[in-house]
Amino acid sequence: AGGGRLLDKMRKWYYNAAGFNKLGLMRDDTLHEDDDVKEALKRLPEHVYNERVFRIKRALDLSLKHQILPKDQWVKYEEDHPYLEPYLKEVIRERREREAWNKK
């Protein structure tokens, strides 16, 4: 049990050290947009997609101004949920299935 807590503390430290949360971004906002990610983004519910676009635009603006959000507005490790991951897993599964089918 002690090792799990230590690992969790390390994850939280790394999450904060990465710095994207200080710009109001979530982990899934930082994914490289390859074809799979682009397809997963198309499948997001509109409100989730709009929230992502807002976070990215705000982060770009802050970055250009060399600023970060006030600490009370940083995305906390516990609040960062993988909103894109389920869609991305589905897209990857479908692509692999298509590739396997095309090999036959």
Instruction: Give the model confidence (pLDDT) of 10-59 as tens digits.
Output: 999 999 999 999 999 999 999 999 999 999 999 999 999 999 999 999 99
Q: Number of structural domains, the chain?
A: 1
**What's the mean per-residue pLDDT of the chain?**
95
Alpha carbons 97 and 34: distance in angstroms, whole number: 18
Tell me if residue 52 falls in helix, strand or coil.
helix
Q: In this structure, what CATH number is given to the domain that contains residue 21? A: 1.10.1090.10
Q: Which domain holds residue 8?
A: 2-103
* Residue 59 identity: A
Q: Looking at residue 1, what is its pLDDT? A: 56
For the cut 90, the answer to whether the pLDDT of residue 96 exceeds it is yes
Instruction: Determine the straight-line distance between the first and last CA of the chain, rounded to whole angstroms.
Output: 48
The proportion of the chain whose per-residue pLDDT surpasses 90, expressed as a percent, equals 93
pTM of the prediction?
Answer: 0.86
Q: Looking at residue 4, what is its pLDDT? A: 83
How far is CA 48 from its chain centroid?
Answer: 12
